[in-house]
Structure 1
């Protein structure tokens, strides 16, 4: 099987594609995988590090207003189409899969015109611009949230609910590695564990709210707070923590980054963070309740739509960034972790939303397409 994968710009597009690639290597004895991205996107660093063959094309997002940049974008798109055509003709894939981002547009569009099987995967409740465009051309549209179907109603005959590939990866954690990670992080197993994730680069409003509630966290003994600041903000935040004389507090742990997130999530009672699609896939697969603080800076406010879907099903609560304060965040967290029955119910509700078999579902879509074509 020859598979061409594409997706880029953010980790939310790249990691699902890599999850698919790794799963295919486990399932297929003979599989050749090529990943197509852009030189400027995160994929140019992440994909080669993962050991997959990587090729690039030139493409960028369209501007909403007419300008010289718009002309340059169209020129790049034309060039990207030619480059995509050349790569596809050379690689001769059996199937082409896109997971979002501007790079998918020329690759999937050209692949479809050339007669190749095409599949896209949408991670969010509200589909991105590229996937909405491609939905009319590709053979199958895999979605992570059932609610996404209403935004793709014109193409519902090709829409299939599969879940997010990240959900399948996090459930593979074994107890020994999870226990080891918890010990290395300094977790106290006698306390509830609340984790704050503000992203690899941090999120200032979340960081400010957390800083403003740390003194309250230090005064209670119901939960420990593992505060993952993001590497960019770590030094500044640690200075502020020391200034407050909280760096030795038993219930406060501060880390710049955690690489073993699946292992940590398996020991997390409540998570505080954004509402990206991969985050929600991981949380629901493991049944971890959350206090969502959706980013208001994303296209079509899709993180709030993601969060609302979980909240409406009982798997978490939401605080909009405009309403976020240290007091409100602490009061919300303390209320939840002080009520074991409520927390357990939220955990169960979250788990019922999870789709840990997402990778198998996507693989089945691919095999069915290939089988139909051969017959």
Structure 2
């Protein structure tokens, strides 16, 4: 259905894990309905203040209302703060003439869901993690339009659509792109290549273990690119960046599609986007879930690991000894890597953004505004 006057309000923010799928959905809607009016809603303190305008979309903000974890004055203030956020959200929804509100979770989504329900505007939800967050558990009670990135995610009436991702990743042909990607990343074209990343902020425990494994990896003929995270560069006691044969470290790579094309094996945390993206492009991975929080990263990885597309190792077990005993053997076994790649592709979904755009248009068509 194409509705020239379609007005979509998308809610979510705080982290890249919320913002990236939100932007992918927004782009897919714009592709389907070029003159759709799209407004993103976040908070003034989140990454969305930079990423949303940079992507070419308008951003409105409401107050951030976290749920206090223990009794305090903030807990008593919660109803008043939340009520104010709902009123802000209602004004945004009505000001935009919204035909549909789309939420991807995070602090901003709950008041947006409540305000949309009050305004009788259809709600569409996308949950990125295997274990749903509080906002989307609340929102899922207010709508029949619920989509999830992982088949195992438990939300009422959920449809498995996958993870909306940038088209540069969803359309990636790793084999055809490998040579140029390695050239752009400063890597030799013909060496077994391990790429390590802990995300944009880095992963201290992964960085420590990799720093202790550099020479054994080089001795095994492995080229390692280590993305340490902003401000997390590995330094020796003299404050000089760590060096080793066949090893290069950078703080950040702009364009994970090059990483996915260049790597024979990825070593990373098990964030929802990472798990879905490596499955979609068929990249074998060693996943080291974040050891704290609610255990969601291990759940994110579970289906891919069970299918044989990735190896999971607990953070406390990820040591230089573990690396020595597993990584060289894996990188020196092309048949095993190809089997892992095929297993990942069997679970990977490349058109989640388009599926979400269709769901949004369908929901908007069911509204009475």
Instruction: Please say whether Structure 1 and Structure 2 have the same fold, judged by a TM-score greater than 0.5.
Output: yes
The 1-side partners of 2:255 and 2:331 are apart by: 23
Counterpart contact for 1:168–1:355, Cα < 8 Å? no
Counterpart contact for 2:177–2:261, Cα < 8 Å? no
Report whether the alignment pairs 1:66 with 2:61: no
Q: Deviations over 1:184-229 (max 9, x none)?
A: 21111111221100121211110110011011012121x2111111
Report whether the alignment pairs 1:268 with 2:268: no
The 2-side partners of 1:51 and 1:84 are apart by: 22
Query: Matches of residues 120-131 of structure 1 in structure 2 within 5 Å?
Result: 120-131=125-136
Equivalent residue of 1:236, what SS? coil
Query: Match for residue 290 of structure 1?
Result: 285
Question: Which range moved further: 57-66 or 209-218?
Answer: 57-66
Counterpart contact for 1:167–1:285, Cα < 8 Å? no
Query: Match for residue 225 of structure 1?
Result: 224
The 1-side partners of 2:200 and 2:331 are apart by: 26
The 2-side partners of 1:219 and 1:73 are apart by: 57
The 1-side partners of 2:316 and 2:166 are apart by: 30
The 2-side partners of 1:266 and 1:239 are apart by: 35
Query: Match for residue 22 of structure 1?
Result: 27
Question: For 1:91, which of 89, 96, 107 is the aligned residue?
Answer: 96
Q: Greater relative contact order (Cα 8 A, min sep 6): structure 1 or 2?
A: 2
The 2-side partners of 1:3 and 1:372 are apart by: 14
Deviation at 1:42, TM superposition (A): 1.4
Counterpart contact for 1:119–1:140, Cα < 8 Å? yes
Counterpart contact for 1:167–1:358, Cα < 8 Å? no
Tell me which protein shows more helix as a share of its residues.
1
The 1-side partners of 2:289 and 2:137 are apart by: 22
Instruction: Note closer, same or farther for the CA distance 1:168–1:239 as it changes in structure 2 (3 Å cut).
Output: farther
Normalised by the size of structure 1, how large is the TM-score?
Answer: 0.91
Query: Match for residue 159 of structure 2?
Result: 160
The 2-side partners of 1:96 and 1:238 are apart by: 52
Query: Matches of residues 1-375 of structure 1 in structure 2 within 5 Å?
Result: 1-148=6-153, 151-152=154-155, 155-156=156-157, 159-166=158-165, 168-173=167-172, 179-221=179-221, 223-234=222-233, 236=235, 246=244, 249=245, 251-298=246-293, 300-373=294-367
The 2-side partners of 1:237 and 1:168 are apart by: 39
The 2-side partners of 1:31 and 1:109 are apart by: 23
Query: Match for residue 3 of structure 2?
Result: none
Deviation at 1:292, TM superposition (A): 0.5
The 2-side partners of 1:38 and 1:269 are apart by: 38
Normalised by the size of structure 2, how large is the TM-score?
Answer: 0.93
Gaps spanning 5+ residues in structure 1: where? none
What do you get for the CA RMSD once the two structures are aligned? 2.1
Counterpart contact for 2:227–2:253, Cα < 8 Å? yes
Counterpart contact for 2:185–2:258, Cα < 8 Å? no
